[in-house]
Amino acid sequence: AFLLRGTSRALYEGSWELAYTDWPDGGSLSRLSKNLANHRGVAVVLVRACSAESEVLGAVIDGLQDTAGGVTGNTGSYLIALWPTLETFRCTGKGKQFAYLNSTNKKQPRGMGFGGDHTGFRMWFSPELTQVQVSQTDLTYVTGPLLPHTSSCTISRMEVWVVSPPSPQPRMVSKQSSNSSVHSGNQRSGQKK
């Protein structure tokens, strides 16, 4: 989490809450979708690959929700490779397929994807959340390798965190300014009579 906090102001200042993890929740797209429905904020999707290098990759998406086949997210979204190297792949401004999550609509691809389009996503999670497929390029995000030596892997671990914006600090009203506004209001109301 420490490295991720440095990639965005929202992640640095926000409050982190675990919304989904595969070990108690199982690999369930519908459970992930239901858990995200109860949260608002920036979603951080993290995956550890089941490989010799145990690569870690993911995505940071503002407002990731199950849209049953529609697009979610915005230009503040980005893809990340955390291990063996730390890289962020920000939006290019050319594409608008930030994120896709569909657990219910059987007429659209079921799964979770980032970048690309319905025919091929930059990063695609199977409906069982056991496999991830990646490519190095799409129109939405900057080109680069999410996985250094392969285009697909079995998922060893998966977590989805939701980062809520910090609570606004309560404003302190001084006693003097509070009394003056009340006093001024009384004068005005007295003048109208």
pLDDT value at residue 189? 44
Tens-level pLDDT at each residue, the chain (193 residues): 666 777 778 888 888 899 999 887 677 888 888 888 877 889 999 999 887 778 899 999 988 888 887 788 888 999 999 988 899 999 999 988 999 988 888 888 899 999 987 678 999 999 999 999 999 999 999 999 998 888 888 999 999 999 988 777 666 665 554 444 444 444 444 444 4
Token pair for 84 = 């063996």
* pLDDT reported for residue 172: 62
Burial track 122-131 (b if 16+ CB lie within 10 A, e otherwise): bbbbbbebeb
User: By C-alpha distance, which of 65, 131, 71, 134 is closest to 103?
Assistant: 65
Check residue 43 and give its pLDDT. 92
pLDDT attached to residue 169: 66
Q: State phi, psi for 81 to the nearest 5 degrees.
A: -120, 120
> 38: which 2 tokens?
């109860």
Spell out the residues 6+ positions from residue 3 whose beta carbon is closer than 8 angstroms to its own: 82, 86
Q: What is the per-residue pLDDT for 132?
A: 93
Whether 14 and 7 have beta carbons less than 8 Å apart is answered as no
Q: Which residue has the tokens 């409050």?
A: 15
User: According to the model, what pLDDT value does residue 184 have?
Assistant: 43
How many Å apart are CA 41 and CA 18, to the nearest integer? 12
